Structure 1
């Protein structure tokens, strides 16, 4: 598993994720959410920020299914999905991850043909990493 590279701006995202919380950096002055985290609001140029708790609901905005050749640690798991999700609480915020059958499941635990653009997903967490599970219709 790849581990996140953190910096001072993004470290709180990973600290909250380790607690099972999906939070997004938000401008404390204009209330505009932003991702990736950064020191200054791109909308109003304020340096004041807070970390807003999200519901974890999202929809698949895009996805790919990588096939070998891949990084050696991932080749044995292929094919698997890599999704870009759009948060329901902040539609301009998009996060990258994987759709899995349950928190902590293998990257290949959901058949690629089950993934659809627009599918509703919910955030789950395993080892401090956000993952996504398909919502039941």
Structure 2
């Protein structure tokens, strides 16, 4: 895997609705919002449930595992990232989809439905979510 300086890589800017979610990521914990009224898991974090509109939402610990639902291998990575750069839509074990970078030495071997696990990357004072394959693709 190519590893380059993370100084120039972007970090998320939390909103009032996402602040706690990003604070937990900074602490090395992936959580998923869940509605207390209908028990629906969802992403992105927000103050009300997109399914039933209830305002009773909790952040619950996520398993940290999922499968690749879709991905693209960018041969021209964005500034601060080394190509090839894999950007994937990952279906978390809890059900919601989360987009993130999949770190692998074999991007051409990655497939839809590949199992991945969450990893955290430190970027300055923040951490960001990324994924790593759990199977033979590494």
Pairing partner for 1:124 from 119, 123, 138: 119
Deviation at 1:64, TM superposition (A): 0.5
**What pairs with 1:1-137 in structure 2 (closer than 5 Å)?**
1-68=9-76, 71-74=78-81, 77-88=82-93, 90-91=94-95, 93-100=96-103, 109-127=104-122, 128-136=127-135
Q: Point out the structure with the larger strand share.
A: 2
| Unaligned 5+ runs, structure 1 | 101-108
Q: How big is each residue's C-alpha offset from its partner over 1:18-64, in whole Å with a ceiling of 9 and x where there is no partner? A: 11111011112211111111222122211111101111010000000
What RMSD over aligned residues (CA atoms) do the two structures have, in Å?
A: 1.5
Consecutive unaligned residues of structure 2, counting only runs of 5 or more, are 1-8
The answer as to whether partners of 2:121 and 2:129 remain within 8 angstroms in 1 is yes
Shift of 1:2: 1.1
Aligned residues of 1:124 and 1:133 also touching (Cα < 8 A):
yes
TM superposition shift of 1:6: 0.9
Q: How many residues align?
A: 124
Corresponding residue SS for 2:80: helix
| C-alpha contact (below 8 Å) 1:80/1:111 kept by paired residues | no
